[in-house]
Structure 1
Amino acid sequence: MALFLLVTHGSDGDVLPFVSLGAALVRAGHRAVLLTHAPYREAAARAGLGFEPIDGEDAFERVLADTPHLLGGTRARLGWDAFYRRNGMFEQIAAECRTLRRLHSPGETVLVGRHTSAVSVRFTAELLGAPAAWVALAPTQLMAAPVAAHLYGTELADGLQAVRAGLGQPPIRDWRAWFAASDAEIGLWPSWFDAAGTRSPARTSLTGFPLPDGTADALGARQAGPTDAPGTLRGGPADGPADVFGGAFAPGVRPVLATGGTGRMLDPDYYPALVAAAAETGLPTLLVVRHRDLLPASLPGNLRWSPGLSFAAAVPRAAAVVHHGGIGTTARVLASGTPQVLMADGIDRPDNAARLARWGLARTVPAARWRTADLPAAVRAAASDHGYRARARAVAGLPDPHGAQDAAADRLVRLLDRTETAAPDGSVRDRLRDLPPRDLERIRARLRLRLDRPATAAPADLPATATPVTGPAPADRPATAIPQQATARTARRAGDAPDGLLLGVER
Structure 2
Amino acid sequence: MSALHVVVVTIGSAGDLFPFTRVALALRDSGQRVTMLGPVQHAPFVAPTGLAFHGLPADEAVLDHPDLWHPTRGLAVVWNATRPAMAQVPAFVAALPPGERVLLLVHPLALPEADLCRARRPGLKVAAAYLAPSNLPTVHDPLLLGPYPVPRWVPLGLRRRLWRRLGEALINPVALPSVNAARADSGLAPVADLIDFIVKVPDLSITLFPDWFAPTQPDWPQPLARTGFPLYDPSPEAELSPEVARFLEEGARPVVFTPGTGNRQAADYFRCALDACARRGRRAILLTPHREQLPAQLPTPVLWQDYVPLRALLPHVAALVHHGGIGTTAEALRAGTPQLVVPLAHDQFDNAARVGRLGVGASLRASRLTPGRLARRLAEVVDNKDVADACRRVATHAAPAELAPLCARLLSLAQ
Find out whether 1:190 has 2:210 as its counterpart.
yes
Query: In the TM superposition, what are the counterparts of 1:35-434 in structure 2 within 5 Å?
Result: 35-55=37-57, 59-66=58-65, 68-72=66-70, 80=76, 84=80, 89-103=82-96, 106=99, 108-129=101-122, 130-143=124-137, 153-173=172-192, 175-181=194-200, 182-195=202-215, 200-201=220-221, 203-213=223-233, 216-217=234-235, 238=241, 245-251=244-250, 253-264=252-263, 269-371=268-370, 373-385=372-384, 388=387, 390-395=389-394, 397-403=396-402, 405-417=403-415
Whichever residue aligns with residue 123 of structure 1, its letter is: L
Q: Structure 2 CA distance, aligned partners of 1:406 and 1:384?
A: 38
Mean Cα deviation higher: 277-286 or 190-199: 190-199
Q: Structure 1 CA distance, aligned partners of 2:414 and 2:110?
A: 23
Return closer, same or farther for 1:48/1:269 CA change in 2, 3 Å cut-off.
same
SS at 1:314 equivalent? helix
Q: Structure 2 CA distance, aligned partners of 1:270 and 1:415?
A: 45
Deviation at 1:411, TM superposition (A): 2.7
Higher relative contact order (CA 8 A, sep 6+): 1
SS at 1:290 equivalent? coil
Q: Structure 2 CA distance, aligned partners of 1:171 and 1:384?
A: 55
Whichever residue aligns with residue 193 of structure 1, its letter is: F
Q: Structure 2 CA distance, aligned partners of 1:330 and 1:79?
A: 21
Query: In the TM superposition, what are the counterparts of 1:463-478 in structure 2 within 5 Å?
Result: none
Return closer, same or farther for 1:196/1:276 CA change in 2, 3 Å cut-off.
farther
Mean Cα deviation higher: 297-306 or 181-190: 297-306
Q: Structure 2 CA distance, aligned partners of 1:79 and 1:24?
A: 31
SS at 2:116 equivalent? helix
Q: Identical aligned pairs, as a percentage?
A: 29
Q: Is the 8 A contact 1:93 1:163 kept in 2?
A: no
Q: Structure 1 CA distance, aligned partners of 2:168 and 2:117?
A: 18
Q: Is the 8 A contact 1:223 1:246 kept in 2?
A: no
Return closer, same or farther for 1:177/1:380 CA change in 2, 3 Å cut-off.
closer
Mean Cα deviation higher: 6-15 or 105-114: 105-114
Aligned to 2:154: none
Q: Structure 1 CA distance, aligned partners of 2:398 and 2:245?
A: 26
Gaps of 5+ in 2: 139-162
Per the normalisation by structure 1, the TM-score is 0.68
Q: Structure 2 CA distance, aligned partners of 1:302 and 1:261?
A: 22
> What root-mean-square deviation, in Å, do the aligned CA atoms of Structure 1 and Structure 2 show?
3.3
Q: Structure 2 CA distance, aligned partners of 1:276 and 1:97?
A: 50
Q: Structure 2 CA distance, aligned partners of 1:78 and 1:340?
A: 24
Q: Structure 2 CA distance, aligned partners of 1:279 and 1:126?
A: 59
SS at 2:50 equivalent? coil
Return closer, same or farther for 1:412/1:250 CA change in 2, 3 Å cut-off.
same
Q: Structure 1 CA distance, aligned partners of 2:378 and 2:77?
A: 40
Deviation at 1:374, TM superposition (A): 3.4
Whichever residue aligns with residue 270 of structure 2, its letter is: Y
Deviation at 1:390, TM superposition (A): 4.0
Deviation at 1:256, TM superposition (A): 1.7
Gaps of 5+ in 1: 225-237, 418-507
Deviation at 1:186, TM superposition (A): 0.6
SS at 1:112 equivalent? strand
Q: Is the 8 A contact 2:325 2:347 kept in 1?
A: yes
Q: Is the 8 A contact 1:116 1:148 kept in 2?
A: no
Aligned to 2:30: 28
Return closer, same or farther for 1:174/1:363 CA change in 2, 3 Å cut-off.
closer
Aligned length: 386
